[in-house]
Chains A and B, each alone.
Chain A
Amino acid sequence: MSGFLIKRLLQAIFVVLVVTLFVSYAVRLSGDPALMLSQGAGSVTEEDLQNIRTGLGLDRPFLVQYGDFLGGAVQGDFGLSFMGGTPVAQLMGDALPATLALAFVSLLLSIVVSVPLGIKAAVNKGKGVDQFIRIISLVGLSFPNFWLAIMLVLLLSITFPLLPPSGWDGAISLVLPALTMAIILSATNVRLVRTAMLETLSAQYIMVARSKGLRERVVLYKHALRNCAIPLITYIGLQFGNLIGGLVVVEKVFNWPGLGTLAFDAIANRDYPVLQGTVTVLAVIIVAVNLLVDIAYGLVDPRIRNK
């Protein structure tokens, strides 16, 4: 068991290293920040540019810069933003709660919706209700997330001025972005719940519970659901990468002050440290969640860890 754990941990670290290396390298190919920073400053000589570069530490060999970044990152120091010199760690620290709050609420909303629907579909497998729920979930999957966001804003912010369309000014601002994310997440989750429930419901103890005369609701929620909760959580955990991906786009559309918007703006401004830091943090989060999910999966299903 510990062999499995160590192996997975090493794998995770390897992945994070490759990702950070890739991002650091890629970001440096995209353009010269010295040029970007000095735009509009009148006549800039090559010497000035060189000074800027030295000041930012850009003239050192790439591996030295990367090593520096890693060394600092481990201590929580991600350097300073090129735009204004704020510590990147601080920018990220301000943005992280926004992203986490949105992720959490979206996930919660999605679970509240998909669990009952998934169970209903599983119980009525093959019948009209099942087909209907499945097609609806496919519709949910087919929305471009940014378009859904725009539509919701159109409907609930412009046509009927009910909810704020952008920024984070209190809990009510959460509603639209979380709703957008939740709709798309639920589309996948409903199917996951349905599949998991179908597998559980065919087990023998369910038959026993029913023949004992227990009410159907008790059978479903107390017995079946609890037993498929763990695989379900692992399935949902595996979707985490998609959650972050979708979150990044939705944040930008709603001007939500989270890590996604931070990353996008960093690209536009060629702000390497911020971009490096943000992508690293997001990648680490995803890898960490995948790792946890894998470990949990390995705990639950011994066949996986002995592969």
Chain B
Amino acid sequence: MQWRSLEFILGAVLTGAMLTLVLLSVWIFPDRGSLMDLASRLARPFTAWAHPLGTDPLGRDVLARVLVGGRISLMVGFVSVLGASVLGITVGLIAGYYRGFWDMLLMRCVDVQLALPFILVALTFISILGGGLGNIILFMIVSQWVQYARLVRGMVLSVREREFVQAARAFGVRDVAMIRHHILPNIIGPVIILMTLNVANNILLESSLTFLGLGVDPLIPSWGGMLADGRTYMQTAWWVSVFPGVAIMLTVLGLNLLGDWLRDRIDPTGKL
């Protein structure tokens, strides 16, 4: 393992740092960034230790809100990927292993879902069911499980023809055991890569949606919400918009670097 690869070091450090800071945020800032210090509204960053990144128009500390707000984005990212991957892997396994009706059904779903960018689907969906944390995660799961299913199905199709699988079958190994012991370990690599990259992407998507007013309740501190709030103050208080964006970027970059490093190790042909 090339631990000294620049990508890995940078990626691990960035992701690790952001994750730790966000997870610890509630301890570091017990007020969760809602304390309004009206005396120092719109304080500039880098001037006082009390507010290292400045304050927003309501006197709330930007650093606190950025770190606490990260919890929403990270949660959406991880939970949605967890849900989508579990669902997608299961369907992909069934479709690839048993073929037949399930396979055909899956392929139809794939065709339809791949045609549409998530934003359009989200626009329509959200106008019915409204936004909110749960709904956003649900939409992401619903629109992304297909990626995993298609990937897993493809790999299962090729793995099941290999000799060790044929041999196991000749020995009478039952289906479930076959999948667990022989097939799964061989397909897990690219799936992990997809998961990593999707967490990064979903964090971006969540902040886009919240920014547009379609996502999480804007009263809860979240990165997208802060960016939306900060837009009106762009000319006077640039720091309200810049820092949440930087946080998003660093987290996503860290995850992308890790995903890329993984991809280089596991699937260098770039066939993903």
Contact = CB atoms under 8 A, between A and B. Distances in A.
Given A147-B227, A147-B248, A150-B231, A279 B120 contact: yes
A23 B115 contact: no
DSSP class of B's interface residues: helix, strand, loop or mixed?
A: helix
24 contacts: A15-B112, A18-B112, A22-B124, A23-B124, A27-B124, A135-B10, A138-B253, A138-B257, A139-B249, A141-B256, A142-B204, A143-B245, A144-B245, A144-B248, A144-B249, A144-B252, A147-B244, A147-B248, A153-B234, A245-B118, A248-B119, A264-B212, A275-B124, A275-B127
Interface in B33-73: none
B50 to A, nearest CB: 25
A146 interface: yes
B127 A150 contact: no
Interface residues of B, number: 42
Contacts of B25: none
Interface string A17-47: 0110011001101110000000000000000
Nearest to B200: A142
Q: Say which size band chain A's interface belongs to.
A: 35 or more
Contact of A11 (B111, B120, B234, B270): B111
A180 to B, nearest CB: 13
Interface of B: 6-7, 10, 108, 111-112, 114-120, 123-125, 127-128, 200, 204, 207-208, 211-212, 224, 227, 231, 234-235, 238, 241-242, 244-245, 248-249, 252-253, 256-257, 260, 270
Q: Which of B120, B238, B270 has the largest number of chain A CB atoms within 10 A?
A: B120
A158 interface: yes
Interface stretch (A64-72, A169-177, A216-224, A282-290): A282-290
Contacts of B118: 245
A267 B127 contact: yes
Nearest to B248: A144
A195 B111 contact: no
A142 B252 contact: yes
B124 A151 contact: no
Contacts of B257: 135, 138
B163 to A, nearest CB: 23
B7 A131 contact: yes
Contacts of A287: 115
A13 to B, nearest CB: 11
A240 to B, nearest CB: 9
Given A144-B248, A150-B227, A249-B119, A139 B253 contact: yes
A248 B245 contact: no
B120 A245 contact: yes
Contacts of A195: 270
Nearest to A242: B117
A267 B123 contact: yes
Contacts of A145: 204, 208
Contacts of A19: 112, 115-116
Contacts of A131: 6-7
